[in-house]
């Protein structure tokens, strides 16, 4: 884990790149106490240790299915594996047998991906892991403070240019979403957690790759009236905050790989592009 001294930083953005319903702005001054945060997302090997130690079953395992991106399902087995799709986002397919150890369905194992971020984990699953590890989920403010890497009001953890000097610094979509992924950054699925350089604080793959669960309940305007001293979101809600974007994010559809961007999902949701990292108090 990396120790962060906290202090005051500018959270959010006043830019027009985001989605009004997300509530990214306005920019506000937030104060945080010192805390620790994992340098990388929790990996498959780390999550396996938790499962083997506790016998824990994720929600996807208990449900018997989870959501898999269409591009990761063999065309010859599509009709056999896909039970249904999401009406508003048909590239998300309900696949029986998809879970953290078989993220793209029963044909796929994680044995060769020990250092990839664990995915197909719900917020509830992430919380269970944190409790076992003696840690917790970061607040949205803590996550954004860490992701900024000491830079003030930059779009990305490394600055304002997405590909400075033509170099890819995160794993997101290149091409035409959702049908053509050129994988110019080297990956068309989650990458190893050490695949790209760290930000100024030493955090790896903290944008792109896989969404990361945060502690907070999601609300688009609560931060306008809530505390700005160690903010932790509203006391209740229907969905939890996710930060960082994923390998499926593209400017034409979802440019939420910016550090100020945010979205949400229900606490029992799991997909091939959602993971987490842990925080801890000093």
pLDDT of residue 15: 86
Give me the half-sphere count of Cα atoms (radius 13 Å) on the Cβ side of residue 49. Answer: 9
- The pLDDT score that the predictor gives to residue 74 is 87
Average pLDDT taken over every residue of the chain: 96
DSSP characters over 113-142: -TTSBP-S--HHHHHHHHHHHT-BPPPHHH
pLDDT digits (tens, 9 = 90+) for 210-226: 999 999 999 999 999 99
Which residues are 66's β-sheet partners? Answer: 95
The residue segments making up the domain with residue 173 are 2-281
The upper half-sphere exposure of residue 211, i.e. CA atoms within 13 Å in the direction of its Cβ, equals 27
Tens of pLDDT, residues 142-172? 999 999 999 999 999 999 999 999 999 999 9
Structure tokens at 95: 């696949």
User: What pLDDT was estimated at residue 250?
Assistant: 95
Question: What domain count does the chain have?
Answer: 1
Whether residue 36 is predicted with pLDDT greater than 90 in this model: the reply is: yes
Q: pLDDT value at position 256?
A: 96
Q: What is the pLDDT of residues 49-100, one digit of tens each?
A: 999 999 999 999 999 999 999 999 988 888 889 999 999 999 999 999 999 9
Q: Read off the CATH number of the domain in which 153 is found.
A: 3.90.1580.10
Answer yes or no: are the C-beta atoms of 69 and 92 closer than 8 Å: yes
Residue 143, token pair as written in the block: 């996550």
- Residues 171/247, Cβ–Cβ less than 8 Å: yes
Question: 109 or 268: which carries more pLDDT confidence?
Answer: 268
**Region label for 153, one of left (φ > 0), alpha (ψ between -120 and 50) or beta (otherwise):** left
- Residue 107 pLDDT > 90: no
Q: Give the helix ranges, DSSP H, for the chain.
A: 44-54, 59-63, 78-81, 123-133, 140-148
Percent of the chain scoring above 70 in pLDDT: 100
- C-alpha to C-alpha distances, 77 to 81, 87, 105, 106, nearest whole angstrom: 6, 21, 11, 11
């Amino acid at each position: 884990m990396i120790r962060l001294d906290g202090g005051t930083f500018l959270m959010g953005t006043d830019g027009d790149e985001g989605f009004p319903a997300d509530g990214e702005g306005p920019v506000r001054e937030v104060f945080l106490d010192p805390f620790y945060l994992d340098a990388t997302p929790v990996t498959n090997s780390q999550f396996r240790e938790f499962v083997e130690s506790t016998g824990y079953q994720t929600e996807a395992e208990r449900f018997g299915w989870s959501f898999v991106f269409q591009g990761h399902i063999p065309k010859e087995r599509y009709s056999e594996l896909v039970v249904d799709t999401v009406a508003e986002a048909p590239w998300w397919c309900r696949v029986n047998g998809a879970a953290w150890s078989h993220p793209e369905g029963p044909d796929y194992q994680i044995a060769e991906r020990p250092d990839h971020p664990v995915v197909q984990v719900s917020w509830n699953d992430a919380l269970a892991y944190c409790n076992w590890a003696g840690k917790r989920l970061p607040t949205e403010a803590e996550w954004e403070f860490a992701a900024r890497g000491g830079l003030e009001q930059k779009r990305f953890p490394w600055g304002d240019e997405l590909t400075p000097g033509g170099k890819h610094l995160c794993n997101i979509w290149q091409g035409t979403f959702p049908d053509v992924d050129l994988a110019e950054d080297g990956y068309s699925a989650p990458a190893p957690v050490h695949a790209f350089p760290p930000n100024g604080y030493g955090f790896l793959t903290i944008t792109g790759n896989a969404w990361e669960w945060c502690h907070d309940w999601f609300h688009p305007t609560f931060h306008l009236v809530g505390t700005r001293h160690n903010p932790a979101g509203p006391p209740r809600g229907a969905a939890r905050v996710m930060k960082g974007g994923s390998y499926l994010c593209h400017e034409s559809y979802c440019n939420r790989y910016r550090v100020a961007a945010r979205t949400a999902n229900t606490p029992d949701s799991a997909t091939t592009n959602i993971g987490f990292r842990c925080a801890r108090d000093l």
